[in-house]
Amino acid sequence: MVRFGIEFIPQEPFWRTVFYVAQAEKGGFDNTWITDHFMNRNPYTTMAAIALYTERITMGVGVTNPYLVNPVVTAQNIASLSEMAPNRVILGIGAGDKTTLGLLGVEMSLPVRAVRECVEITRTLLSGEKIKNYEGKIFKIQKAKLAFKPAGRVPIYVGAQGPMMLRLAAKIGDGVLINASHPDDVKEAISHLKKGAEKAGRDLSGFDVVVYTSFSTHKDREKARKATLPVVAFIVAGCPPKILEKHGISLEKAEQLKKALNEGKWDVAFSSVTDEMIEAFSICGTPEECSEKIAKMFELGVTQFVVGSPIGPKVYKAIETISKEIIPRFKEK
């Protein structure tokens, strides 16, 4: 059965995020994903608050990285959260953002290896086992063991974009988190997952293929489109030329947009977003249009569709619309 998730950046007061997640739970969403960026509120504290006011929805950190937080501390955090919400917790691990890490003077060294070691360490600790003399290329742990076990199993998902990380996710993860809004990008990502699984001799049945999208819906197509402009603008500004060219986006226009963002000229930057950019890096439109695009994702092999920022012009109304006019189209089948 297909699932729906909703992503939140914990940049607003706790009560508001909790309110939105509670609304999403009532509306039929299966998962909520809370991002982990040092400038925002702590994801584990946010999920603890969510756990107190929800009953069913599964919570995942999407994603934490092994550079800013030691895997042992990550295991401690997620295991503690599992006591508040048994069998409702997922740990998402990814390499992080190179630019953001650079702001803190942290080097992203051997990202695929770092994620692999992080998964190995956290999984061992979450199983209740002791680590003795772990000698990795990134982490070296002489002795570590949690004094308690998680209340229930904690699945580990790998946040992946490039071919090597996608193949790693298929080898060692319980699921994968893919940032993509275009079917072609998802199709390519799934091909790498299949290669990784084949090489590892693994069957991907039961493996959760989660697609994070920049999403916006409203009965008025133009209002839905307008809400995506800031998000798409920042995606384009940070996108490699190779990806832009793949989607037929002018490198010159992308560079002009990036320049406007760097200069703080928001109106210029957002008005520079083209239809090609929106099509490549978001799913937006009326509920009917969005449903058609979501259906394509599920046909490709996606098992969980996540609506991410901005969700819609008004978050509350967008959650209501998705719950009443989109999710039932798929859950009733």
Q: Is 219 strand, coil or helix?
A: coil
Q: What's the rounded Cα separation, in Å, for the pair 79 and 242? A: 40
Could you tell me which residues are beta bridge partners of residue 35?
none
Is 289 inside any structural domain? yes
Phi and psi for 36 in degrees, rounded to 5? -125, 100
Backbone region of residue 136 per phi and psi (left: phi > 0; alpha: psi in -120 to 50; beta: other values): beta
Q: What's the rounded Cα separation, in Å, for the pair 288 and 325? A: 8
Could you tell me which residues are beta bridge partners of residue 12?
none
Residue 112 lies in domain: 3-213+284-331
- β-strand pairing of 31-34 with 58-64: parallel
Q: What's the rounded Cα separation, in Å, for the pair 4 and 253? A: 34
Q: What is the model's pTM?
A: 0.95
Q: Which of 171, 176, 177, 178 is nearest to 203 (CA)?
A: 171
Torsion (CA) 16, 22, 24, 26 in degrees, nearest 10 = -150
Q: Is 3 strand, coil or helix?
A: strand
State the total domains in the chain: 1
Q: Would you give per-residue pLDDT tens digits along the chain (333 residues)? A: 899 999 999 999 999 999 999 999 999 999 999 999 999 999 999 999 999 999 999 999 999 999 999 999 999 999 999 999 999 999 999 999 887 898 899 999 999 999 999 999 999 999 999 999 999 999 999 999 999 999 999 999 999 999 999 999 999 999 999 999 999 999 999 999 999 999 999 999 999 999 999 999 999 999 999 999 999 999 999 888 989 999 999 999 999 999 999 899 999 999 999 999 999 999 999 999 999 999 999 999 999 999 999 999 999 999 999 999 999 999 865
What's the token pair of residue 45?
A: 């504290």
Is 240 inside any structural domain? no
Backbone region of residue 87 per phi and psi (left: phi > 0; alpha: psi in -120 to 50; beta: other values): left
Contact in structure between 224 and 216 (CB atoms under 8 Å):
yes
- β-strand pairing of 283-285 with 58-64: unpaired
Is 264 inside any structural domain? no
Contact in structure between 23 and 52 (CB atoms under 8 Å):
no
Interior CA angle at 206 toward 179 and 42, to 5°? 45
pLDDT of residue 117: 98
Q: Which of 33, 65, 64 is nearest to 50 (CA)?
A: 33
Is 60 inside any structural domain? yes
pLDDT of residue 27: 97
Q: Is 135 strand, coil or helix?
A: strand
Contact in structure between 168 and 203 (CB atoms under 8 Å):
no
pLDDT of residue 238: 86
pLDDT of residue 239: 87
pLDDT of residue 174: 98
**Residue 31 belongs to domain with CATH number:** 3.20.20.30
Contact in structure between 302 and 233 (CB atoms under 8 Å):
no
Q: Within 10 Å of residue 87's Cβ, how many Cβ atoms?
A: 12
pLDDT of residue 99: 79
* Residue pointed to by tokens 């259906």: 295
Which DSSP symbol is given to 10? -
Q: What's the rounded Cα separation, in Å, for the pair 38 and 65? A: 11
Is 95 inside any structural domain? yes
Q: What's the rounded Cα separation, in Å, for the pair 200 and 190? A: 15
